[in-house]
Structure 1
Amino acid sequence: MSDETPLRVGFALFPDQTHLDLAGPWEVLTRLPGCECLLISTLPEAARSGSGGLTLLPTTLWAACPPLDLLCVPGGPGHLAAMEDPLLLDALRQHAASCRYVTAVCTGALVLAAAGLLAGYRATTHWMSLDRLARFGAEPVAGARVVHDRDRITGAGVTAGIDFALTLAALLRGEDVARRIQLQLEYCPAPPFDDGDPSRADPALVARARELGAPYRARMDEVDARAAARLASRG
């Protein structure tokens, strides 16, 4: 796709998102030449982030949203309610039908999955939710920051959204543009600890993270069961 071809990117906005799931890709994709980015919600109210304090106002509502070239669903604690929001799921299905790419970051992949949009696709999400994808007919891919399968592109947990967006930038506007944006953002990760991936982290640390996340995981399992049953009932 040439730089002259206009692009319209829609980010699904809902309460209790992890702000970086959205903000990382937003900072990359808004820098693409000729790219219009929208924050799209089912309601006109501001959406508060999952960590509290930060709020975002939608650019438009799903009911008035123009056709999109790319659809992106961020994740966060609010993904559980989003998986059971019929208005949102219907909107995602409607717009996905005409998008060039249907994408998600972190547990936003589970929202796509609940809409039936990842069945038969390879995909990734946050490492603590990766196994959940199989329940919705997707093929979980471990150890990948970004998974590209045909017109579906998914990013792993939170910070992987930047890698995800740079991958998209290269697909949409070419590698030179993506590399320039990476330099503008000074994206050159050098974390102080090598514990950002469960395959490299201290096993005791991983076990403790799973222990602390057990109540949240129980809620996930309940929502997954209901969402999968609703999806199955659609045929």
Structure 2
Amino acid sequence: MPPTPRRVLLIAYDDAQILDIACPSGALDLANRFGAEPPYTIELATTGPPVTRTSAGILLTAAHNLTTVTGPVDTLMVVGGAGCEEAAADDRLLAQLRRLAPHTRRLASVCTGAYVLAAAGLLDGRRATTHWAWGERLARRHPEVAVDARPLYIRDGDVYTSAGVTSALDLTLSLIEDDHGPTLARQVARELVTHLHRPADQAQISTFLAAPPPEDRLVRDLAAHINAHLADDLTPPALAARAGVSTRHLTRLFAAHLGTTPARAVRRARAEAAAHLARTSSLPLAAIALRCGFRTPETLRQAFLDHYGVTGDTLRRIPDMPAPLPAPPRQTPAP
């Protein structure tokens, strides 16, 4: 007798982000194509009309009205998007989530879908994440939730929350690995031409993704140079010479557009890259240190302690740890 499929229920609403739906469903579909046993059944549900409009204007037809769904459910995932606040105020939706939660093996949210889970009381007393631009607002609205808008995704018991948009793919690869092992997750990641998979603790945005403003070409060019040449001489005098400005002016530019000094920005970029290599490769820490511009393994060790509070060996073993807080963005974009 074949095993019972794993039922995955994606919860959508008007003005949901289509990538929040496509990333999980696409990855799970590939897992089935590569032989997931038991396979996943992927169902879209809403509390309103069967046809829902995504924020991109594309119409999707849901298989179910949530009021008719009964358990058990393997994975219930609430997506995010521009309509999240309206969804979080929808008493029908919140009631159905509370009804189904006890009959669901694991709950999950993508991006601002965390607003909906939090409004239903399903994140109370838990650590959770969401899109970096919405984290502070979520924390103010739901002080009973331990909001940490730094990692790509967080697992707290049987509840999973993820950051903005494409981090849904990282979360889903993690779920596939939990269910079927790393080999299948690796196959899916290769087919999707993506990393396998970005670690949960990786920062949603690095110092250089948070800033500078697009119009400041000099700082933008230096940021790209730093990320592409971590092992080079990136001292303030070397960066100033490359930019054709004085060291003092360089310091002023970094303070204005990145909120930090050149030396600290370089050290953070190196630490982020080294942490990613430590979590996703088998390279010795000494080799990682050299590749990322740290002169000695001890210098790398100190950088990990400063930015993550743990050594490199410990960082490799922790399944879900906080990432360093990125520099605050200058603007808050729409979700």
The two structures share one fold, judged by TM-score above 0.5? yes
Alignment length, in residue pairs? 205
Q: Which residue of 1 aligns with 2:56?
A: 51
Q: Which residue of 2 aligns with 1:209?
A: 331
Q: Which residue of 2 aligns with 1:66?
A: 70
Query: Which one-letter code corresponds to 1:197 in the other structure?
Result: I
Q: CA deviation at 1:188?
A: 3.9
Does structure 1 residue 168 correspond to structure 2 residue 167?
no
Q: CA deviation at 1:43?
A: 2.2
Aligned positions of 1:105-124 closer than 5 A: 105-124=110-129
Q: CA deviation at 1:141?
A: 1.9
Question: How far apart, in 1, do the equivalents of 2:207 and 2:10 lie?
Answer: 30
Q: 1:30 to 1:95 in 2, by over 3 A?
A: farther
Tell me if structure 1 keeps the 8 A contact 2:70–2:100. Answer: no
* Residue ranges of structure 1 left out of the alignment (5+ in a row): 190-195, 217-235
Question: How far apart, in 2, do the equivalents of 1:202 and 1:73 lie?
Answer: 26
Q: Which residue of 2 aligns with 1:133?
A: 138
Question: How far apart, in 1, do the equivalents of 2:174 and 2:195 lie?
Answer: 15
Tell me if structure 2 keeps the 8 A contact 1:133–1:139. Answer: no
Query: Which one-letter code corresponds to 2:16 in the other structure?
Result: Q
Instruction: Tell me the SS of whatever aligns to 1:201.
Output: helix
Does structure 1 residue 35 correspond to structure 2 residue 14?
no
Aligned positions of 1:78-227 closer than 5 A: 78-134=83-139, 135-136=141-142, 137-188=144-195, 197=205, 199-201=207-209, 203-205=211-213, 207-210=329-332, 213=334
Q: CA deviation at 1:30?
A: 2.6
Q: Which residue of 2 aligns with 1:11?
A: 10
Question: How far apart, in 2, do the equivalents of 1:121 and 1:173 lie?
Answer: 26
Which 4+ stretches in 1 moved above 4 angstroms?
none
Instruction: Tell me the SS of whatever aligns to 1:209.
Output: coil
Structure with the bigger percentage of helix: 2
Instruction: Tell me the SS of whatever aligns to 2:92.
Output: helix
Tell me if structure 2 keeps the 8 A contact 1:16–1:78. Answer: yes
- Cα RMSD after superposing both structures: 2.2
Deviation track 1:95-127 (CA, whole Å, cap 9, x = no partner) reads 111211100000001110011110111111000
Question: How far apart, in 1, do the equivalents of 2:195 and 2:158 lie?
Answer: 28
Question: How far apart, in 2, do the equivalents of 1:86 and 1:29 lie?
Answer: 30
Q: Which has the higher contact order (CA 8 A, sep 6+)?
A: 1
Question: How far apart, in 2, do the equivalents of 1:202 and 1:119 lie?
Answer: 29
Normalized against structure 2, the TM-score is what? 0.57
Tell me if structure 1 keeps the 8 A contact 2:149–2:163. Answer: no
* Residue ranges of structure 2 left out of the alignment (5+ in a row): 197-203, 214-327
